[in-house]
Amino acid sequence: MRDTLPFLQRLGLDSDADARSIRRAYARELKLIDQEQDAAGFQELREAYDNALQWAAWRERQAGEADAAAPATDAATGAASAPNAEEPAAGATTGGASTPNAAEPAAGAVVPEAAAAAAAAAPIVPNYGVPRTPVTLGPAPELATPPLPHDDPTQLAAAVFAEFLAATTALLRQQHVQHPPQWQAALQHSLDDERLLNLTARIYFEAHIAQLLASGWQPGNEVLFVIAGKLFHWNEDRRRLQQLGRAGALVDQAIDERVIFDQLPESEQMIHRAAIVLLRKSDAPSDYQLRGDMPYVEKLMAYFPVWMSMMVDQDVVRQWRERAATLPPPKKSWLPKIDLGISPRMGWILFIVVLQLARVIFNHVDTPANIIPSSPAPFMPEFKPLPEYIRKEISAKIPVFPLKLGGGQHQAEFNVILDDQGNIYQQMMYRTSDNLSYDEAASKALRASQPFPPETPRKFQVTFTVPTGSSQ
C-alpha cells in the first residue's frame, strides 16, 4: 500500500476499492473513534471518507468515458491502415521502380536503439489503476455531486426506523417484552446500518426513537427507554436530547424523574414497581387490589408524570380512577379509629415489631423447673409456612456467591401475600441476613417463582438461610 492514495490508506484500502468497500471501511473505522474525546481524529476520518467517495465517483466516470471512446479509436485505426495496404500495389504498376531493400529502414522509421533511448528519456508516470482516456479541455468538473433522491437523510432515517419497528413487532409476537438483550440487539442492528453512516440521517433516526417514547406508552417502551438511553448515551450527555425538539425535552425530563425514583428506599421501590406491573396487565384488578394500590398509583402520577406516561397506559390509569370512585366504602370496624398519620402498611410493620419485642421479653421470663414450657406459638398465625418443596425450588434460584459475614446463622425471612391468581401482591422482609446482595437475590428468586401453585397458602412465611460455605 506504499503507492496508495493517503485517504485510502487512512481507511485501510487499496487503489481497487469501490464505493461499497469505502462505506464499509468507514463504518469499521468509525467504531474505533470516540467522537466526543477525539474530535480531530473524527474530522480526519470524515475528510478521508468524503475524498475517497469523490475519487471513486471520478474513477467510475473515467471508466465510462474510456468504454465509450474505445469503439471510435478502433474505427480510426482501421481507416488509417487501409491506404498503407494499397501502397505496394501502386508501386507495382510503375514497372521500372525498384523495391526498397528490406534491410534498410524506411524513411521516418525509428531504429530500435533510438526507440530505447527515447523510452529511457521519457518520464515514468505511475499507474494508479485509473484507465487513461483522451482528455478534452473544458470547464473543471465539480467535486461534490448533488445528492441523489435516495440519499435524503430524512428518507434514510425513516426507512431504517420502519425496519426497526418491524423487528420490535416480531419481538412482541414472540413474547420477548421482558428480554432486554433482544431489544438491544435490534436497536444496535439499526445503528450499524450503512444508511445511518450519514450523520444527519443518524440524528433523524435518534429523533424517531425519542418521538416513539414521548408519544405515550406502548408494549416494550419500558425496555426501549433503558436501552435507548444506553446506546445513545442520553444519560451521560443530555445535550444530545436538546437537538431533538419537544420529544427530546420530554425524554430528558423522564430521565430526571427516573433518577429520582431510583433514589427511593428499596422497600418503596418494590411497592411502586408492583403497582406499575399491575397497571400493565390486561386483567382488571380486584376491588381488594384496587383499594390497596390506587394510592400508590396516584403518588406515582403526581411525582413522576412524564416518566409514568411512557411506562404505563394512561387509559388504564383513567379506568382505575373511575372504578376507585365507584368502590363501596370499607366496612367500619368496632375498634376506635386512631389516626397516627402513617400508612396502613407502615402500621403493619410497627405491629410486627411490637409483637417481636413482646416475644423476646416473654422468652426471657424464668420458667419454674416443674413446668415443661410449651412450644412457642407461631409468630403470625395468619402467615402459614411455605411448603418445603416449594421453598427448595426457590432456594435453588438464589445464586451462590462469596459473602463476608460474621459468625452465627444468617437468615432472610419474608412475609408474602398472594392475589387470586397466585402472584405476589405484597412482599415484606421480616428479617435480614445482614447482607444486602443476598437479601435482594432472595427477593428476586421469590418474584421469579410466581405464579405459585394452587396449594400455596395465600399468606405464607418463608425463611432462606445463607449457606455455611458462603460465610467467610
Residue entry with cell 367500619: 332
Residues 118, 48: Cα–Cα separation, whole Å: 39
Q: What is the pLDDT of residue 129?
A: 45
Q: How far apart are CA 388 and CA 395, in angstroms?
A: 10
Rounded Cα distance, 294 and 296, in Å: 5
- Give domain 6-72's CATH architecture: Orthogonal Bundle (1.10)
423/303 Cα distance (integer angstroms): 27
**Residue 145 CB-half CA count within 13 A:** 13
* Pick from 379, 393, 374, 384: nearest CA to 452: 393
Nearest-5° Cα angle at 230, 317 to 10: 150
What was the pLDDT predicted at 331? 65
State residue 42's pLDDT score: 82
User: What is the predicted pLDDT for the residue at 395?
Assistant: 87
Cα→Cα distances 61→73, 130, 227, 458, Å: 18, 10, 44, 78
pLDDT of 48 reads: 85
Which residues are bridge partners to 462 per DSSP?
414
Taking alpha carbons only, the member of 425, 446, 454 closest to residue 285 is: 425
Give the other-Cβ count within 10 Å of 420's Cβ.
12
How would you label 58-70 residue by residue, b for 16+ Cβ within 10 Å and e otherwise? ebeeeeeeeeeee
Closest CA to 207 of 241, 238, 173: 241
Top-level CATH class of 384-470?
Answer: alpha beta
What the block records as the C-alpha cell of 142 is 465539480
Do strands 384-385 and 459-465 pair parallel, antiparallel, or not at all (unpaired)?
A: parallel
Beta carbons within 8 Å of 173's beta carbon, 6+ residues apart = none
Please give the Cα distance from 246 to 234 (Å, whole number).
Answer: 15
Give whole-number Cα distances, 201 to 29, 103, 155, 206, 249, in Å. 19, 73, 8, 9, 20
CB 316 within 8 A of CB 279: yes
Q: For residue 416, which of 461, 351, 380, 464 has the smallest C-alpha distance? A: 461
DSSP lists the bridge partners of residue 460 as: 384, 416
- For residue 155, give Cα distances in angstroms to 158, 160, 366: 5, 9, 85
pTM assigned to the model = 0.46
Predicted confidence at residue 43, as pLDDT, reads 81
Identify the pLDDT of residue 291.
83
- C-alpha to C-alpha distance for 212 and 214, rounded to whole angstroms: 6
Instruction: Give the span between the Cα atoms of 105 and 304, in whole angstroms.
Output: 100
Omega within 30 of 0 (cis) for the link into 83:
no
Residues of the chain below pLDDT 70: 1-4, 69-151, 176-178, 330-345, 363-381, 401-408, 468-472
For every residue of the chain, which 3-state class applies, written as one string?
CCCCCHHHHHHCCCCCCCHHHHHHHHHHHHCCCCCCCCHHHHHHHHHHHHHHHHHHHHHHHHHHHHHHHHHHHHHHHHHHHHHHHHHHHHHHCCCCCCCCCCCCCCCCCCCHHHHHHHHHHCCCCCCCCCCCCCCCCCCCCCCCCCCCHHHCHHHHHHHHHHHHHHHHHHHHHCCCCCCHHHHHHHHHHHHCCHHHHCHHHHHHHHHHHHHHHHCCCCCCHHHHHHHHHHHCCCCCCCHHHHCCHHHHHHHHHHHHHHHHHHCCCHHHHHHHHHHHHHHHCCCCCCHHHHHHHHHHHHHHHHHCHHHHHHHCCHHHHHHHHHHHHHCCCCCCCCCCCCCCCCCHHHHHHHHHHHHHHHHHHHHCCCCCCCCCCCCCCCCCCCCEECCHHHHHHHHHCCCCCCECCCCCCCEEEEEEEECCCCCEEEEEEEECCCCHHHHHHHHHHHHHCCCCCCCCCCEEEEEEECCHHHEC
- The whole-number pLDDT of residue 472 equals 37
Q: Sketch the domain layout of the chain as residue ranges.
A: 6-72, 150-262, 266-326, 384-470
